[in-house]
Structure 1
Amino acid sequence: MTGSGIAGIDLPRWRSLRYFNIFRLVLAGLFIVAGPQLNLGADYPTAYLATAWAYLGLVLTFGFPDLFERLGVERVIRLQLLVDVVALSLIMWASGGYRSGMPVLMMIMLAGAGLVAEGRMVLFFAALTTVAVLGDNAWRTLAGREPVDFLQLGIVCMGFFGIAVVSRLLALRAKANASLAAERGEELAKQQSVNERIIRDMQDGVIVLGADGRVRQANPRAAALLGLSALEGLLLADVDPVFAGIAVECGDDGRLMRLGLPARLLRCRVVCGELGTPAEGDTLIYLTDFEEIQRKLQQLKLAALGRLTASMAHEIRNPLSAITQAAELLQDEKRTEMQARLTRIVNDNARRIERMIRDVLALGRREQAEPEAVPLAAFIEELIAAHSLAGEAERAVYRIEVAPEVTLALDRAHLHQILDNLVANARRYCSSGEGAVRLYAEPFPDGRVGLHVRDDGAGVPDEVRVHLFEPFFTTHPKGTGLGLYIARELAEANDATLELVGGEGGAHFLLIGRARP
């Protein structure tokens, strides 16, 4: 049989049927060519040869694909199996019965029937084969020929049914597995298509670099970021010399550098020899366009500054009103005590406006951060000394627990402004007792350092926590509401974080940054 398949039959079953028919064809040929040498047809040679030639002709007839199209697959399969049982039964009868070995071939035919037949037809053919074998032995008993013990035949007939059932179950299991494999294959193909589309359309560039330094795969975004039309097959070091030592960057969070023909600012992150790489020895390189991110951040910053300016105008209006009113009253006031009070109001509100303007200007200078490894112990001692000009009693309020070798990578001016704000708040709300304000450092295993500023005051109420870092939110009557907001902004400008730590007791702030720039 030739062809890739027939309508109405799945490909695995069609292949099984084709191989089964090839086996039939070989078997029929052996019956004709080597039958006499195998002592087949010894009882009735003429009947044997007629049966063998008829079997060969029917095998060839039922092997044409056109017959499957005309009669239907199931009908042709049933006719083929019926021909097998009848032909083998007649050859068995003409060759001496059970001892001719035909029951073994019948078992093989039943096993093949279990693979290609549908439903319970295989049990029908097992029963038909059993009737043929038992009938032949019964005829030999009645004819006075040498029969076989019926117990032995019974065991063989039970084997017919066992082989038929087992082969059918195996065929059903194989069909279920093939169907599951096909379904999983379709799902995998769909998932692969989706993954390829995601990688092709993602905003980050992805490059798969072979062990020889050549680009094995790259998405279009990577080529566009490096100013090329395609990257596959190129030596990445030829695209930009910076890539020559890219393997040493493995496992890092990535660093910013200008790469490619347009010298674009990109964040390059490298993953080497880890699970998920396309092949052993390959290197994954992720490129993120930081120029676009910076533009978006600048737009967000401008929008935030716009909102901040509007809020600031509203906040400045109140002290200006107080200053204006105090100035008008000062013109009419003749008493010295009232003049001093009105002058103090003018000065206090003018200083409040000056603090607001200074804090807002600090926002504009956050991009000028120049981190350095600041020795925390000496820095904090100098800061606390400035807060303790009132004498030793004031100095005793602060307890510093920082080792001399601990450093924190921040811009020195920014660190001073952050700590000055935290220390001032802690001093304002603490109990003023000895050691009421604690400053201590905590090194982390990943190379970062945490600086704690903690007081023993009443703490921060839950309703205040959610607004604590919002601009112009303050619980102090003379505060501007920009101190903690500016402190967090300056921390982020130095790749550090500033958070309020939960827990009992007073306020507990934690500044976390790298130990070294």
Structure 2
Amino acid sequence: MFRLPVLRFPFPPSYRDATESFWESLRYFNFYRAAVAAVFLVGERFDPEMLNLGSRDPRMFVYTSAAYLALAVVFHLLLRRWRAYFNAQLTLQVITDIVALTLLMHASGGLRSGLGVMPLVSLAGAALVSRGTLMLFYAALASIAVLLEQAYWVLMFDAAIATFLPPGLLSIGYFATALITNRLAQRLIMNERLARQRGEDLANQLRINQLVIQDVQDGVLVVDPNGLVRQQNRQLTVLLGRPAPELDQIEQYSTELAGQLEAWRAGNGPSSVTLRLSESGRLVRARFVAAGVAGGSFTLVLLEDLSKFQEQAQQLKLAALGRLTAGIAHEIRNPLSAITHAGDLLQEESQGSGRDRLLSIIRDNAKRLDRMVHDVLELSRRDRVQIEKIRLRSFISGFIDDYAQNEGIARSAFVIEVPEDATVEFDRVHLNQVLWNLMHNSWRHCRHQTGSIVLRVLSRPGRVELHLIDDGEGIAKQLQAQLFEPFFTTFSGGTGLGLYIARELCAANGAGLDYLDRGTGADFRILWQAVQ
């Protein structure tokens, strides 16, 4: 016994693969349906003879058009309130189109009315969003409908068998339209999915790159051809010593860095330079790399903090130096004591200017050696840090009083410009030693007048600065690089360890000490960075 195959329509409870664009396409297609029904309804009322609408059965044409328009309204409400069963809704709408258009064609006199091509639009629209073999099912329904309508004319009005040729060709057109449109739609859908996937991959990659840039230890800037910083990371704020501006010219970040970048872009500078940022005092290595964007016009600037490497090397060096100097200091002090004692005895027993001069030389050099031993021992004790909060105004005022009294200097020679609320964290003994060394150096080179030395505290975003400024001639540029090196001095009676020890004590307390070239006078700056 012959059995017809059972058609199973894939109507899942929720059309999960139907994207939002599919639902929007179905909604716009329903607007077209409502417009066609309205045009048919209005056209039949105003001039049916010219349009050849409803020429055979006007009442059927009007009723069908009205029902077609009503169903379009129902479909619109359904699409707005219930977006589920996509295939089921699509199939219901296509069947409605086929039935309504077939009835309208029949009421207008059959295929000669020209309405036989109207299902092509419905089939093309359905093929754009349908899946699998549904498009063929819709084309088959349209073909059966148009062939049955023609069969009616053949059976009821003895039309020639040859009249089946036009609906047959039209049926072929239905299948061809459904297949071609569906294949094109599938290609567009695949391209859309690929574009969406690539967009998501690109967004993920950009997010990963952003996280990596923010977490790297180097400072990162992306600079466009006009010098505008398009992107930066958090580490840049630490290196600059202040909050980094957003979307600003690179000159607002660092004038030194801007000059090096301009020279590199002009082909007159190296791709890697070492410079010290003026505001934070940090030593950094700047590397310039063409980003390869827009013909390489964008530049990636990488700032490597060299201060940490210097501090680590310095720590290792000082650990060994501390052990060595402690032993040397004890060994020096024993003969030094004997020299001093022998000089004192010689002074008591001897007479004459020549011997007095020799005794003076013995005493002066013994004192110099004693100061050197004292400084070296201070250096070996730099790791014994007891951090505490210090109110700078009261501390500096007390320090100036002690220093002026011990050195026999008028108090009016010092000017204090310190806010009342300026507070830092530092070892009190170390800060006293640092200021004593700096003050001793400044007083030696200033003019010894009223207000010759100024102690000024500046509170800036993210940092506190203590400046010790004198009115002397300043330090020659060729000597500035050697200022903080051990045993470097331009004073015949100095040990060359004062500034070196001051800087090491600052480093041990998490601060920095550097020299600012102001042109006239010396300006030593102690810099405290805010805790991040």
Q: TM-score, normalised by structure 1?
A: 0.53
Q: Report what 2:216 is aligned to.
A: 202
Structure 1, residues 161-212: CA drift from partner, whole Å, max 9, x if none? 1111222223333333333333322222221111000011111111123444
Gap change, CA 1:226 and 1:79, over 3 Å in 2:
same
Unaligned 5+ runs, structure 2: 1-13, 325-532
Q: Report what 1:283 is aligned to.
A: 299
Q: CA deviation at 1:213?
A: 3.2
Q: Report what 2:521 is aligned to.
A: none
Whether the 8 Å CA contact 2:285–2:306 is kept in 1: the answer is yes
Q: Distance in 2 between matches of 1:260 and 1:50?
A: 87
Q: Distance in 1 between matches of 2:60 and 2:40?
A: 12
Structure 1, residues 125-171: CA drift from partner, whole Å, max 9, x if none? 21111112122222222333766733333222111111112222233
Q: Distance in 1 between matches of 2:51 and 2:288?
A: 73
Unaligned 5+ runs, structure 1: 1-5, 310-517
1:64 lines up with 2:77 in the alignment: yes
Q: Report what 2:22 is aligned to.
A: 13
Q: CA deviation at 1:78?
A: 1.5
Superposition pairs of residues 182-193 of structure 1, within 5 angstroms: 182-193=196-207
Correspondent of 1:264 among 282, 287, 297: 282
Q: Distance in 1 between matches of 2:37 and 2:204?
A: 47
1:118 alignment partner AA: R
Deviates more, 1:103-112 or 1:51-60: 103-112
1:61 alignment partner AA: V
| Structure 1 residue matching 2:166: 3-state secondary structure | helix
| Structure 2 residue matching 1:40: 3-state secondary structure | coil
Q: Report what 1:25 is aligned to.
A: 34
2:245 alignment partner AA: L
Q: Distance in 2 between matches of 1:7 and 1:141?
A: 42
RMSD of the TM alignment (CA)? 3.0
Structure 1, residues 312-334: CA drift from partner, whole Å, max 9, x if none? xxxxxxxxxxxxxxxxxxxxxxx
Whether the 8 Å CA contact 1:81–1:113 is kept in 2: the answer is yes
State the identity as a percent: 38
2:202 alignment partner AA: L
Gap change, CA 1:116 and 1:47, over 3 Å in 2:
same
Whether the 8 Å CA contact 2:229–2:248 is kept in 1: the answer is yes
Q: TM-score, normalised by structure 2?
A: 0.51
1:271 alignment partner AA: V
Gap change, CA 1:105 and 1:300, over 3 Å in 2:
farther
Superposition pairs of residues 30-429 of structure 1, within 5 angstroms: 30-35=39-44, 36=48, 37-65=50-78, 69=82, 72-144=85-157, 149-245=163-259, 246-250=261-265, 252-272=270-290, 275-276=292-293, 281-297=297-313
Q: CA deviation at 1:87?
A: 0.2
Gap change, CA 1:72 and 1:238, over 3 Å in 2:
closer
Q: CA deviation at 1:240?
A: 3.1
Q: CA deviation at 1:66?
A: 6.3
Gap change, CA 1:159 and 1:260, over 3 Å in 2:
farther
Q: Distance in 1 between matches of 2:58 and 2:146?
A: 20
Q: Report what 1:318 is aligned to.
A: none
Q: Distance in 2 between matches of 1:197 and 1:150?
A: 70
